[in-house]
Amino acid sequence: MMRRDIFQAIADPTRRAIITLIALQAMTPNAIAENFNTTRQSVSKHLRILTECDLLKQEQQGREIYYSLQLEKMKEIDIWLQQFRKLWETRFHQLENVLATIKKQKK
């Protein structure tokens, strides 16, 4: 079994598009595949990869399978970004201070 990682999963543009597509409502593989210029089997592979790293959840309904996004898992990316968000906010406030100082000096 392949080692799956959320960052590796979102590296592919088709997979990112799938994530966005099903973010609002669950969809079947066939319905999803209709949105892309590729084969159903290729989309099926992407769905497998996304499911393997818990980004997608399957729900069987007769012979159809509905795939939906596991929003919770998306937060993992957000958590990783947190460290940098702190930095760019700090930098933003430093800029604010510089601007405030300049304004004061002009008075």
Partner DNA sequence: TATATTTGCAACCGAACGGTTTCTTAAAAC
Partner DNA sequence: GTTTTAAGAAACCGTTCGGTTGCAAATATA
Task: Find the binder of a copy of itself among 10, 17, 21, 65 (CB under 8 A).
Answer: 10
CA distance 36 to 72: 26
Task: Find the binder of DNA among 16, 20, 45, 91 (CB under 7 A).
Answer: 45
Size of the site for a copy of itself (CB under 8 A): 25
Task: Find the binder of DNA among 42, 94, 97, 101 (CB under 7 A).
Answer: 42
Residues 78-107 that bind DNA (CB under 7 A): none
CA distance 43 to 34: 10
CA distance 78 to 82: 6
Helices and strands (H, E) in the chain, number of each type: 5, 2
CA distance 52 to 72: 15
- Told to check if 49 binds DNA by CB under 7 A, we report yes
- The residues of the shown chain that bind a copy of itself, judged by CB under 8 A, are 5, 7-8, 10-11, 13, 16, 20, 23-24, 69, 71-72, 74-75, 77-78, 80-81, 83-85, 87-88, 91
